[in-house]
A and B are shown apart, each in its own frame.
Chain A
Amino acid sequence: EPEVTQTPSHQVTQMGQEVILRCVPISNHLYFYWYRQILGQKVEFLVSFYNNEISEKSEIFDDQFSVERPDGSNFTLKIRSTKLEDSAMYFCASSYTASSGNTIYFGEGSWLTVV
């Protein structure tokens, strides 16, 4: 079964460093998402992306964050200058359509630890 893959599975970085989390969505999917889950908390929406531009972003997704699809297969999340509170599990997801009720498929997540 096709799946969303994410790398790295775990990254430790120093505060202030830039981090890039990578994702390969399911190949025929058109809509891409990033979510995050701070330890012990709920999974939160960060951003959605379609047709090479951001469709929607949450208030969490400030100027520190950016997304891009550099080569037609990868979908990346960049955190420009990491803060301690950015430590979380980051989930990439994709879907074929944008219609409500469509299934969004999630990757296994990338654990980011900022020290």
Chain B
Amino acid sequence: AQSVTQLGSHVSVSEGALVLLRCNYSSSVPPYLFWYVQYPNQGLQLLLKYTTGATLVKGINGFEAEFKKSETSFHLTKPSAHMSDAAEYFCAVSDLRGSSASKIIFGSGTRLSIRP
């Protein structure tokens, strides 16, 4: 079965600094990978996704992620953090089992804090 592991439940960076949120996946087949963001008291919003093709995926709000098969990783980065980036970030993988409606399997989440 597919799964994702997020390294670090809490990451704190200074405003303007690089953001790096780590995600490793486990999958017996080529995975489809996602990053979702949850702002305080809000729902889950898709940041970006990787399905096929280019391994560097650009998302909203200046975020991007790179699919690295050799490292089974899909880390999320942003060159310069903004105060508004403070949120919970979830890495996720699409479950490819059977013919059911594909579902998303989420990691445990990483809370990103931004220091002024």
Contact = CB atoms under 8 A, between A and B. Distances in A.
Nearest to B45: A106
Interface residues of B, number: 25
Contacts of A104: 103-104
A18 interface: no
A91 B100 CA distance: 19
Contacts of A103: 46, 49
B44 interface: yes
B94 interface: yes
Interface residues of A, number: 30
A41 B98 CA distance: 27
Interface stretch (B11-19, B78-86, B106-114): B106-114
Interface string B40-58: 0011111001011000000
Interface in A39-82: 41-45, 48-50, 55-56
Interface of A: 4, 6, 31, 33, 35, 41-45, 48-50, 55-56, 91, 93, 95, 98-109
